[in-house]
Amino acid sequence: MDNCIEVKNITRTYPQFSLKNVTFSVPCGSVVGFIGENGAGKSTTIRAILGLLKKGEGSITVLGENADELSPATKEKIGVVFDGLSFPENLTVKQLDKVMGGIYKTWNSERFFGYMSKFELPLDKRFKSFSRGMVMRLSIAAALSHDTQLLILDEPTSGLDPVMRSEILDIFLDFMQDENHSILISTHITSDLEHIADYICFIHKGEIMFTEERNEMMERHRILKCTDEQLMRIDKADIIGVRKGRFQNEVLTTNAHKYPDIPADAPSIEEIMVFYVKE
- Whether pLDDT at 1 is above 80: no
For residues 234 and 230, what is the distance between their CA atoms, to the nearest angstrom?
7
Tell me which architecture the domain covering 3-217 has in CATH: 3-Layer(aba) Sandwich (3.40)
- The predicted-structure confidence for 17-55, as pLDDT tens digits, reads as follows 889 999 999 999 999 999 998 888 998 999 999 988 876
Arithmetic mean of pLDDT over the chain: 92
- Whether pLDDT at 236 is above 90: yes
Q: In the chain, where are the structural domains located?
A: 3-217, 221-277
Q: What is the pTM of this model?
A: 0.91
- The predicted-structure confidence for 70-108, as pLDDT tens digits, reads as follows 899 999 999 999 888 889 999 999 999 999 999 999 999
- Whether pLDDT at 279 is above 70: no
Burial class (CB in 10 A: 0-12, 13-18, 19+), 255: middle
CB atoms < 10 A from the CB of 23, how many?
14
Q: Is 138:93 a contact under the CB 8 Å cutoff?
A: yes
Percent residues over pLDDT 70 in the chain: 99
- The predicted-structure confidence for 154-206, as pLDDT tens digits, reads as follows 988 877 888 888 888 999 999 999 989 999 999 888 888 988 999 999 999 99
